Amino acid sequence: MFSLVVWLVGTVSVIVAQNSTSCIQSWQSRGPNNVDPVSAIQPIGVGAISATFMPINSTTLFLGSVNGGVWKTTNFLATPAPHYVPTTDTNSCQSVGTLAGSLSDPNLIAYGCNGVSNFADVSGPYDGVYLSTNGGATWTRTNLPYGGGNAGQFINKIVITGNSSSSVITVSTRGQKVSQVYVYYYGTGAIYTSTNLGVTWTSYSTASSANVRPLDVVQDPFTHTTLYYVDDTKRIFKNTASGIGNWIVLTNTTFMTTECAGLTSDGAAVDTVLNAKLAIHATATNNIIYVGYYGYSSTTGAICYAFYFSTNQGATWTTMLAPNGRTMYNVSGSGTANAAGYADLGNQGVPNFAMLADPIDPRYLYVGGTVIEIFRGDRTYTGSNLNETNGGLWSFLRDNYVNGFITPKYTLTGTSPHADIRYFDWNYLLNQLICTCDGGIWIHTNPHGTGDWIHKNGDLSITEFMSVAYDSATDKIASGAQDNSIWISNSTASQIAAGTSAQGMFYALPVGDGEGVAIDSSQSPAILYGTGQQLGFFFKAQLSQQAPASSTIFSYAYQSTNFDFFTVLALNAVNPRYLLICTDQRLIQLGQSDYCNRYDMNTGSASVMPTSTTVVTGYALNYYKYGGYRNGTADQNMIFGINFVNGIIYAYDTATGVNVHSFLNMSQGNFVNLIAMNPNNYYQAYVVDAKSKVWQTLNFGATWTDVTGTLFSDSGAHEMPYAWGSIVIPTPTYNVLAIGSALGVYVAFDIQMGSSTRWYKLGLSIPNVLVTSFAYDSTRDLLVAATMGRGWWTLSRVSEQFTYWLNGMYKLIFNSPIREKNFEFKK
């Protein structure tokens, strides 16, 4: 090991290497992984998976996670669970919207970037399409063009025909981002093809009019050169020659009139399509094409799904009345008949809509949607055949709670996957249905009959965390996870690195979407506070060696309409007995006054909120700090918050009272703007805005300075790396600001802040995934990072890695080039 030491004499820099016990540390994964779901129904999972590719008759499987990159396993059938390896950690894009492989060359795979997280589509850079010709060992970003204004495109499907020597890669886009900052798509989509592994592309406009977008593209699994796509006007196109100009319209929409079915009629047509899926069963004797739509009818106002199939390659179509509402509809002549059962694919059909044609049995179509709704459809069902004993037109493939209990009815032992279905695939070796969802990956052991759901998450670590808290005494980490509750770590970095799988390494507190967390380490044992979305399931629990020794849920849905989806729990930095919670914009929009309440956490009981005192009235604060120190004096009444919609800074302390400042230069977008505050001087604070600009105030929010400087100048990224999380780490002589981004963690020093602030990357080996939140522990000198797609990461010996003066020498041990010039020797 060695470190670099710079002697600065006049304006000349001399760099030498010296042996040292100090070195650049690597970030260490802290999971969660190797997690066993504790519930058979809607179990908590590891994170969202958008797509998979499993070559026929293979035990290898590739999967693309929503914000955690592409992973690979070569033993998917292993019991109890497979071992996975991340393959894309150093790529600039880890937000996988789609994944595909060649049916004739399983080493030729590609993935496309897209923001498909159920937390407001949050993602890293929209960086096009990446291709691997060696089974994920290495990746190359293809030259797929960016959209107008260099904004990223929404890649929603990839199809690969051929092998690495002779291939056609087809990519569909759903339009482009409004800009490099805002993720909402707009404009006309397109289909691109490349015949030289993505070096050059030819585009085909899919529009019959403005803003028409292709929603899905599929490949005939028997005739690989035949492709189909569907757009949001319901038109279906076919291409039998893989040429970009060979698309022909296969059908119009005149037959699609019986979709949003009611109890007494076939319903009205879906005239506003939000998503669509295609699926094909193709063998030497059968060729069945299915199309499914998600949208709504302007006639009835109902959101619904519609499914059709064709047995003659699209010449004519037959309806499969969709599983809408709370009744399953069965075909009976030309009308409908209802049968008992609950059926609802839900209202999140853009991210959570899956469809697969059974590759073995030509009768079956599998569909899945929001929550855990999964059905097997039988296109041959008539309602009059005595042999039709496996259900009606649509049969459940999961069980659910009935009056709080699990009674096996549709599975062997009463099981289901996690909620919010995203993708279906097929295991040809065992004829099992593969299902991905917002909790990971599951298999159904007997999709043609009655089987069970078994998770195959193994050692995947793809959890989307939005908050973090840390307890030094127990080395425990807690975070709120998108769609996967509140997680607590009971493991060490060495256990994770060794691949240890042991019961009790992690546990979760079920709150649905996990959001804000806070830990009061002044008590023994420490107390964890947490909440689900909009302050639902607000609780406190003791941090123990295993699961919480005791816990109190104050409320299952306390005034939930008053609070933001992500509700901040601000523990008082001076007196952690108190917690600050603020409402969001909704009350203002209703003509009421927003407020912030101080809660006395020594009070409250089951279903009874802690005693509260309103301390802010008339302001909606999206993020805030509570209690602080200045000039060695504590002020437990200090409140510093931001309304990032209206550009308002709210500042209160005992000495000066309420001060409200307008700051309209701060760009707002899809992210919550976090506040990093000096724990020793609350007048010094930082905010990262929606354009990844970093702002500093030294006077309690009265004025702000742009200190973005060289941030990301070394990244080489085409798109903005989306800075989000931030924290101030104090040292004896100065303070360090750490910024989390989608391309690593950067730091700068307050003594060097200004228009040309210089930033350095901190630590090695953290994946290029969005860092959302930090916690720093001075006792252990440990920095904890929560990421939006790769769980927790920790960096030890943090203070040793900062640049600092030592005995007249300027010492650098950073993971970046030295660019110092013209320093004067300081005595």
Cβ contacts of residue 394 below 8 Å, gap of 6+? 323, 328, 329, 330, 343, 375, 376, 377, 378
- 188, 204 contact by CB (below 8 A): no
Assigned token pair, 29:
């994964």
- 164, 107 contact by CB (below 8 A): yes
Range in 18-32, 184-198, 570-584, 708-722 the model is least confident about: 18-32
Q: Could you tell me the pLDDT band of residue 335, with boundaries at 50, 70 and 90?
A: very low
Q: What is the 3 state secondary structure string of 539-566?
A: EEEECCCCCCCCEEEEECCCCHHHCCCC
Percent of the chain clearing pLDDT 90 (strictly above): 49
pLDDT of residue 511: 79
* DSSP line for 464-491: BB---EEETTTTEEEEEBTTS-EEEE--
pLDDT of residue 815: 42
| Strand, helix or coil for residue 535 | helix
For 120-174, how does the pLDDT look when each residue is reduced to its tens digit (9 = 90+)? 888 888 899 999 999 999 999 999 988 776 778 899 999 999 999 999 999 998 8
Assigned token pair, 797:
């010996």
Cβ contacts of residue 333 below 8 Å, gap of 6+? none
Strand order in the sheet with 287-296: 272-282, 287-296, 303-310, 318-320
- 709, 748 contact by CB (below 8 A): yes
- Amino acid in position 459: D
- 105, 134 contact by CB (below 8 A): no
For residue 583, CA distances in Å to 265, 605, 665 come to 44, 22, 24
The distance between the two most distant Cα atoms of the chain, rounded to a whole number of Å, is 96
For 730-775, how does the pLDDT look when each residue is reduced to its tens digit (9 = 90+)? 988 889 999 999 999 999 988 889 989 999 889 999 999 999 999 9
pLDDT at 5 exceeding the cut of 50: no
455-487: b (≥16 Cβ within 10 Å) or e: bbbbbbbbbbbbbbbbbeebbbbbbbbbbbbbb
At which residue do the structure tokens 């080493």 appear? 107
Q: Which residue has the higher pLDDT, 339 or 2?
A: 339
pLDDT at 412 exceeding the cut of 90: yes
Torsion over CA: 492, 498, 502, 508 (sign): positive
- Mean pLDDT taken over the chain: 83
Kindly provide the residue ranges of all beta strands, DSSP E only, lying in 573-622, ordered along the sequence.
578-582, 595-600, 612-617
At which residue do the structure tokens 């997690």 appear? 35
Closest CA to 395 of 414, 378, 371, 412: 378
- 459, 79 contact by CB (below 8 A): no
pLDDT of residue 383: 59
- 249 - beta bridge partners? 237
pLDDT at 821 exceeding the cut of 90: no
At which residue do the structure tokens 């910024």 appear? 739
pLDDT of residue 16: 30
The whole-angstrom separation of Cα 531 and Cα 518 is 10
> From the centroid of its chain, how far is CA 246?
37
Average pLDDT over residues 699-706: 95
Q: Could you tell me the pLDDT band of residue 111, with boundaries at 50, 70 and 90?
A: very high
pLDDT of residue 807: 44
Average pLDDT over residues 174-186: 63
Torsion over CA: 51, 54, 59, 60 (sign): negative
For residue 493, CA distances in Å to 20, 29, 127, 745, 782 come to 24, 6, 31, 19, 12
> From the centroid of its chain, how far is CA 450?
32
pLDDT of residue 814: 45
- CA 219-220-224 angle, 5° bins: 80
- 486, 480 contact by CB (below 8 A): yes
- 6, 15 contact by CB (below 8 A): yes
pLDDT at 404 exceeding the cut of 90: no
For 621-633, how does the pLDDT look when each residue is reduced to its tens digit (9 = 90+)? 989 999 999 999 9
pLDDT at 2 exceeding the cut of 50: no
Burial of 1 (0-12, 13-18, 19+ CB in 10 A): exposed
Kindly report whether the peptide bond that precedes residue 80 is cis, defined as omega within 30 degrees of 0: yes
At which residue do the structure tokens 């406190």 appear? 540
Percent of the chain clearing pLDDT 70 (strictly above): 81
The whole-angstrom separation of Cα 115 and Cα 670 is 12
- Amino acid in position 720: M
Burial of 42 (0-12, 13-18, 19+ CB in 10 A): buried
Q: Are strands 469-471 and 202-205 parallel, antiparallel or unpaired?
A: unpaired
pLDDT of residue 225: 86
pLDDT of residue 673: 65
CATH number of the 46-335+352-382+389-455 domain: 2.130.10.10
Burial of 454 (0-12, 13-18, 19+ CB in 10 A): middle
pLDDT of residue 774: 97
pLDDT of residue 740: 94
Average pLDDT over residues 67-84: 95
- 320, 382 contact by CB (below 8 A): no
- 410, 397 contact by CB (below 8 A): yes
For the question of whether the overall pTM of this predicted structure is more than 0.75, the answer is yes
Q: How many CB atoms lie under 10 A from the CB of residue 814? A: 16
Closest CA to 555 of 542, 570, 543, 540: 540
At which residue do the structure tokens 């899945």 appear? 368
Reported for 314-318, long-range contacts at CB under 8 A and 24+ positions apart, including other chains, are 314/228, 314/236, 314/238, 314/250, 314/251, 314/289, 316/255, 317/251, 317/255, 317/256, 317/291, 318/379
Q: Which residue has the higher pLDDT, 56 or 252?
A: 56
The whole-angstrom separation of Cα 48 and Cα 32 is 14
